[in-house]
Amino acid sequence: MKKRIIVPIIAVGIFFTTVSFKSDFFEIAKQIEIFTTLFKELNMNYVDEVTPATLMDKAIKGMLEDLDPYTVYWNEQQVEDAKINNSGIYTGIGATAQSRKDKIIIVEPYKDYPADKAGLKAGDEIVKIGNVNIADLEDDAGELLKGAPGSTVDVTYKRQGKTATATITRGAVDLKAVPFYKLINNDIGYIVLSQFNRKTTIETKAALIDLKSQGAKKIILDLRGNPGGLLNEAINVVNLFVDKGEVITTTKSVIEKYNQTYKTKSDPVDTEIPLVVLVNGRSASASEIVSGGLQDLDRAVIVGARSFGKGLVQRPKKLTYGTQLKVTISRYYTPSGRCIQALDYWHRDENGDPIRKDAKEYNAFKTKGGRTVYDGGGILPDVELKSAVFSPITTALLKDNAIFDYATKYYYSHQMTDWKNFKFTEADFQDFLKFLKDNNFEYETETEKKFAEGLKISEDDDMSKDISASYNQLMAAIDKAKDKAIVDKKVEIESLLTDEILKRYFYREGLYNYQIEHNPEILEAVAVLNDAGRYAKILK
Instruction: State the catalytic residues.
Output: 285, 296, 310
How much of the chain is in helix, strand and coil states, percent to nearest 5? Answer: 45, 20, 35
- Kindly state the DSSP code that residue 143 receives in the 8-state scheme: G
* Backbone phi, psi, residue 148, to 5°: -70, 150
Residue 359 phi, psi dihedral angles, 5° rounding? -60, -30
CA-to-CA distance for 212 and 129, rounded, in angstroms? 47
Q: Which amino acid is at 459?
A: E
The per-residue DSSP string of 311-333 comes to -EEEEEEE-GGG-EEEEEEEEEE
d(CA 44, CA 4): 6
Which candidate, 314, 332, 333, 334, places its Cα nearest to that of 324? 314
Residues whose CB is less than 8 angstroms from the CB of residue 509 and which lie 6 or more positions away in sequence, other chains included: 111, 180
445 close to 418: Cβ distance less than 8 angstroms: no
Contact call for residues 145 and 96 (beta carbons, < 8 A): no
> Three-state DSSP class for 382?
coil
CA dihedral 483, 489, 491, 494 (to 10 degrees): -50
Using an 8 Å Cβ cutoff, are 95 and 108 in contact?
yes
What does the angle CA 255 – CA 378 – CA 333 come to, to the nearest 5 degrees?
A: 30
d(CA 37, CA 134): 37
535, exposed or middle or buried, with CB in 10 Å at 0-12, 13-18, 19+?
Answer: buried
Q: For the purposes of burial, counting CB atoms within 10 Å of the CB of 76, is it exposed (0-12), middle (13-18) or buried (19 or more)?
A: exposed
SS (H, E, C) 433-473: HHHHHHCCCCCCCHHHHHHHHHHHHHHHCCCHHHHHHHHHH
User: Chain-centre distance of CA 123, in angstroms?
Assistant: 20
Query: Is there a contact between 293 and 331 (Cβ–Cβ < 8 Å)?
Result: no
Give me the amino acid identity at 304: G
- If one counts every other C-beta atom within 10 angstroms of the C-beta of residue 179, the result is 16
Q: Facing residues of 333 across strands?
A: 250
Q: Which letter does DSSP use for residue 420 in this model?
A: G
